[in-house]
Structure 1
Amino acid sequence: MGGGGGVASTTVVESREWYLAAYAPENVPTSDHLKLRTVTVSLEYDSIADQHLALQLLFISVDPYLRSTITGREGDLYLPQPPLNKALTGFGIARVVRSKNNNFNEGDIVINPFSPIAEYYVVPSDFLRKIDLSANIALPNYLSCLGIPGLTAWVAIEVIGNPKPGSNIFISAAAGGVGMLAGQLAKLKGCRVVGSTGSDKKVQLLKDEFGYDEGFNYHKESDFDAALAKYFPNGIDIYLDNVGGKMLDAVLNHINIGGHIVISGMMSQYNKIPAEREGVKNLLNMVGKDVKMEGFLCGSYLNKIGEFTQQMEKYIKEEKIKPKHKINQGIESFYESFASLFSSSNLGKVIVQVAI
């Protein structure tokens, strides 16, 4: 049983961690809100409580939902606001350095859905899950295809949307962590898929790598009604909404009778206070067209994790699902990685690699 990373014989380490210094009610959070500091972590075996593990963080997922948890307002996405001056948390992959649980050995690689964004930390073992390295699945895939973005895309397409072959599907933020997977899942179900994204390069990526039939740059196609009329001459059967706002309003004019709008996020609204968020004017179309609009959180579908994992692992091994990752190096890159989610600079799922 080895520790990994040369820390097996070390009893105390310095660990850098990102913490919340102040809540950010609006706009993209700055370095005044998210700060990096160095703390001391004891890896002494006797200092670790029973059923706890000392972990070295290897990868951390960078996800838009974190924005709604640091506004200082309870109720945004119904996610709890983290306490100030404590390490932020995210979906991470870590190596076991010390174990006070017989189910985990030093050197095991684990998934932690509530990982502190810290180089080293000690946590209870309750929510940790070992990764089977013999599956030969690259570790970043557990933060994309097999992580929160993958589960979100799978629930939206396979469970809630459940489209028929030939359905016309529209996906916004299509080159992001959720959109890139949702489009591929929809194509596997025999659908026609169109995506919107923020650059011509991303539009090409949608078609060349993710199998989208069409895509458009929403910065160039500023008249969303005209764009949707062009790309959906037969209307939209299912819309996976990741942005909200003006795009959602335009979709309501082009959704087909009996259509389904599945909402997994509203990135265009995350940095606005509630009073300044954009309203939706075309809701009357839901009545006239018998449209169903449904939002969801992944936490409501944890009972389907087994089915999701089995199906997605199969798709990955058969190369039917191809992820794309933007991996930034070093824990110090977390802030810039997070801020980049609200620009058009990233291609695919954003991940920070903290250690090897």
Structure 2
Amino acid sequence: MPSLNPVSPSQSLFNKLRFRTPTFVAPTSFSNSNSSLESSFLPRRVPSALRFKKSTAGISTVRMKTVPLVSATMAEKSKKRYPGESKGFVEEMRFVAMKLHTRDQAKEGEKETKEPQEAPVAKWEPTVEGYLRFLVDSKLVYDTLDKIIAKAVFPSYAEFRDTGLERSEALAKDLEWFKEQGYVIPEPSSPGVTYARYLEELSEKDPQAFICHFYNTYFAHTAGGRMIGRKVAERILENKELEFYKWDGDLSQLLQNVRDKLNKVAESWSREEKDHCLEETEKSFKHSGEILLLVSDVVHRHSTLPLPLAGEEAAMEVMNRVVAIRHHIDEFPVESDFELKSEALIVSVKAGCDDIVVKNLYVSIDPYQINRMKSHSSSQKTSSFATSIKPAQPIDAYGVGEVLASGNADFKKGDLVAGLLHWAEYSIVKAQTSLLRQIDSMGLPLTNHIGILGFSGLTAYAGLFEVAKVKEGETVFVSAASGSVGSLAGQLAKLHGCYVVGSAGSDEKVALLKEKLGFDEAFNYKQEKDLTSTLERYFPDGIDVYFDNVGGEMLEAAVANLKAFGRVALCGVISEYTSSKKAAPKMLDLVYKRIKVEGFLAGDFLNVYSDFIAMVSQYLGSRKIESLEDVSIGVDTIPSAFIGLFKGDNIGKKIVKLAV
């Protein structure tokens, strides 16, 4: 077996190729011949890159090929209402796919007619790391298909079991081989996760649409996918053929068997159901194309980008997926309140501009954002951290990313940074307004720089030591103690010599507080009928410091149990964000016990940030504190992750991973 030569992250798989937007194209034929497999499901609009031929000057050859196809299709339409119907449903799918194919060819033809001298385009330079992302996401999709077919929620799915086209086992072997060569296998990324979830949703409620995706996914791989695999093997694998591109038995016959089964299953479908299936074809190509893009992670559009100056890199354009609210949210949030938009973003900075383009790696999910999403809140005018979020507007959030381009001399391409980014895959920010700073991983996971070493950690530190001014030997109560802020506040109080009790919303979280984080006591507030009596039981002599993350009844009960000169560090009021009921502590208690209640924001204490980092990083390094993190994958998971905060789904800091 050939060994894999060491390849740097920047080494190209196809160094000499010129690439245009690689979106999967429709098949031109589903016949049994090997040549038909080679021409089917090639990426659209990339004749030079993925066909591995030099660009052809002019378009006459393209037109000579496409005109007969269009003519045949139009002739067929004039005879029958549904092209290909007489030959079975697979033939109908072929006609729809061809229509997509020739439509895009026509668009390219019109464009090149107007621009006979093609402008230079940036090279497509895939990396081994990018190719691994493609394989990992492909495996997730094939695993999902296998699982759905095996489960067979609809009887028709069972027809497609054990077709011989399955790819999961082969991909597992290939990824193991890469691992043996010393490569780190990444986690699935957003395109694969998004498509897998979409397939799962379709499979439960829309069998015709699911079968369309099943069919197109497998046929895309047997055609264009095989060609790409061969070129990868030639370029970087010393002609090693991956298992992903091998099948047991005659591939043409395996494909024909699936066609026959699909035609048989579709016989029972109504015309409306067939049409619905056909409508999914373009979506299946789009999802497959997005996964293919992982190989390079860049989309180039030569017709819209300026030519690079001498010594400059060619400008790149990426598709940036952004989460926004559809409208103001004044009730409990639901997923339909949010939208996922795709926007083109040019990865370059104009001369004289101090913008910084960042590829977001991780973003923070925080409950306080709901207050900014409301149509009105008195707090929205009090601080820049609380300003109103408008519908369709990018939602800023703390995050960690990598600089792709910079007009600021303090930041350069490749820097790892933390600061206020966006709920999106990419952000364009300014250093000052986004509080952007370079970070040193210090050998710790990057997620730590969002949670325990980020604003959540600073909030815990500042609330405990700057606001409450906790002293050794004092009694401390922390609400929402299994959350990102509360979990660290409790641990720091313990390390400072305090007696610490925490509240949480499940028995599992209570056990975690006592057994893993070292709290002296903890209780499940949902099982307590009288919170005032509960706190009296745990603090018979009273509470010195209450670190409040929830407000509401818990704040009332804590104030009732505070000692004279007790302090409340008012960090958050999550129980009140989505409820009309507000806290009403007894004011006489505040007066006669001389209780200090102080609200605060992490941004108020940037002056102690270095002290905070020094303390907490030391504790992390010596394993005296634990970092609790709850990580979701993919920009499309942001809405559900956010909603889960108000249901108590998370343990620790809620983070969404956006890129490898």
Pick the TM interval, shorter chain. over 0.9
Counterpart in the other structure of 1:132: 440
The reply to whether residue 240 of structure 1 matches residue 543 of structure 2 is no
* Cα 1:253–1:102 shift into 2, 3 Å: closer
The reply to whether residue 221 of structure 1 matches residue 528 of structure 2 is yes
* Cα 1:280–1:108 shift into 2, 3 Å: same
- Equivalences for 1:66-81 in 2 at 5 Å? 66-76=369-379, 78=382, 79-81=386-388
* Cα 1:165–1:46 shift into 2, 3 Å: closer
Counterpart in the other structure of 1:152: 459
The reply to whether residue 94 of structure 1 matches residue 378 of structure 2 is no
CA-CA distance at 1:321 after TM superposition: 2.0
* Cα 1:128–1:48 shift into 2, 3 Å: farther
* Cα 1:162–1:65 shift into 2, 3 Å: same
The counterpart of 1:307, out of the listed 602, 611, 615, is 611
Task: Provide the rounded CA distance (Å) in 1 between the counterparts of 2:513 and 2:350.
Answer: 50
Residue identity matched to 1:193 = V
Q: Is the 8 A contact 2:559 2:585 kept in 1?
A: no
Q: Deviations over 1:183-228 (max 9, x none)?
A: 0010011000000110000000101111100000011012102211
Q: Is the 8 A contact 2:544 2:562 kept in 1?
A: yes
Task: Provide the rounded CA distance (Å) in 1 between the counterparts of 2:471 and 2:436.
Answer: 37
Counterpart in the other structure of 1:58: 361
CA-CA distance at 1:234 after TM superposition: 1.4
CA-CA distance at 1:279 after TM superposition: 3.9
CA-CA distance at 1:47 after TM superposition: 5.0
- Equivalences for 1:1-356 in 2 at 5 Å? 6-7=296-297, 11-25=316-330, 27-43=331-347, 45=348, 50-76=353-379, 78=382, 79-113=386-420, 115-126=421-432, 127-133=435-441, 135-272=442-579, 276-356=580-660
CA-CA distance at 1:316 after TM superposition: 1.6
CA-CA distance at 1:99 after TM superposition: 2.5
Task: Provide the rounded CA distance (Å) in 2 between the counterparts of 1:336 and 1:300.
Answer: 30
Task: Provide the rounded CA distance (Å) in 2 between the counterparts of 1:239 and 1:124.
Answer: 37
Task: Provide the rounded CA distance (Å) in 2 between the counterparts of 1:281 and 1:308.
Answer: 32
TM-score by length of 2: 0.51
* Cα 1:158–1:40 shift into 2, 3 Å: same
Task: Provide the rounded CA distance (Å) in 1 between the counterparts of 2:497 and 2:585.
Answer: 32
Counterpart of 1:178 in 2: which secondary structure? helix
Residue identity matched to 1:225 = T
CA-CA distance at 1:298 after TM superposition: 1.6
CA-CA distance at 1:241 after TM superposition: 0.8
Task: Provide the rounded CA distance (Å) in 2 between the counterparts of 1:85 and 1:260.
Answer: 40
Residue identity matched to 2:326 = A
Q: Is the 8 A contact 1:264 1:296 kept in 2?
A: yes
Counterpart of 1:333 in 2: which secondary structure? helix
Higher mean C-alpha deviation, range 332-341 or range 161-170: 161-170
Q: Is the 8 A contact 1:41 1:121 kept in 2?
A: no
CA-CA distance at 1:168 after TM superposition: 1.0
Task: Provide the rounded CA distance (Å) in 2 between the counterparts of 1:132 and 1:252.
Answer: 41
Q: Deviations over 1:106-136 (max 9, x none)?
A: 22111122x1211123222333211123x21
Task: Provide the rounded CA distance (Å) in 1 between the counterparts of 2:645 and 2:478.
Answer: 17
CA-CA distance at 1:281 after TM superposition: 4.3
Counterpart of 1:54 in 2: which secondary structure? strand
Residue identity matched to 1:131 = I
Task: Provide the rounded CA distance (Å) in 1 between the counterparts of 2:583 and 2:659.
Answer: 43
Higher mean C-alpha deviation, range 321-330 or range 79-88: 79-88
Higher Cα Rg, which structure:
2
Q: Is the 8 A contact 1:252 1:283 kept in 2?
A: no
Counterpart in the other structure of 2:69: none
Task: Provide the rounded CA distance (Å) in 2 between the counterparts of 1:10 and 1:285.
Answer: 64
By relative contact order (CA 8 Å, sep 6+), the higher-ranking structure is: 1
Q: Deviations over 1:258-295 (max 9, x none)?
A: 111111011110113xxx33241422111221211111
More strand as a share of residues: 1
Q: Deviations over 1:77-96 (max 9, x none)?
A: 63110232111110011111
Q: Is the 8 A contact 1:186 1:193 kept in 2?
A: yes
TM-score by length of 1: 0.92
Task: Provide the rounded CA distance (Å) in 2 between the counterparts of 1:75 and 1:303.
Answer: 27
Q: Is the 8 A contact 1:48 1:54 kept in 2?
A: no
* Cα 1:228–1:331 shift into 2, 3 Å: same
What is the total number of aligned residue pairs between the two structures? 349
* Cα 1:103–1:218 shift into 2, 3 Å: same
Counterpart of 2:336 in 1: which secondary structure? coil
* Cα 1:355–1:290 shift into 2, 3 Å: same
Give the aligned CA root-mean-square deviation in angstroms: 2.0
Q: Is the 8 A contact 1:21 1:34 kept in 2?
A: yes
Residue identity matched to 2:425 = E
Task: Provide the rounded CA distance (Å) in 2 between the counterparts of 1:298 and 1:244.
Answer: 18
Residue identity matched to 2:465 = E
Task: Provide the rounded CA distance (Å) in 2 between the counterparts of 1:257 and 1:320.
Answer: 32
Task: Provide the rounded CA distance (Å) in 1 between the counterparts of 2:545 and 2:489.
Answer: 12
CA-CA distance at 1:353 after TM superposition: 0.3
CA-CA distance at 1:46 after TM superposition: 5.8
Q: Deviations over 1:11-47 (max 9, x none)?
A: 111111001221112x22223332111111112x365
Structure 1: 5+ residue runs without aligned partners?
A: none
Task: Provide the rounded CA distance (Å) in 2 between the counterparts of 1:48 and 1:209.
Answer: 52
Task: Provide the rounded CA distance (Å) in 2 between the counterparts of 1:163 and 1:93.
Answer: 31
More helix as a share of residues: 2
Report sequence identity in percent: 34
Q: Is the 8 A contact 1:74 1:80 kept in 2?
A: no
Task: Provide the rounded CA distance (Å) in 1 between the counterparts of 2:526 and 2:456.
Answer: 24
Q: Deviations over 1:60-89 (max 9, x none)?
A: 011111111111214326311023211111
Task: Provide the rounded CA distance (Å) in 1 between the counterparts of 2:409 and 2:297.
Answer: 20
Higher mean C-alpha deviation, range 323-332 or range 289-298: 289-298
Residue identity matched to 2:375 = G
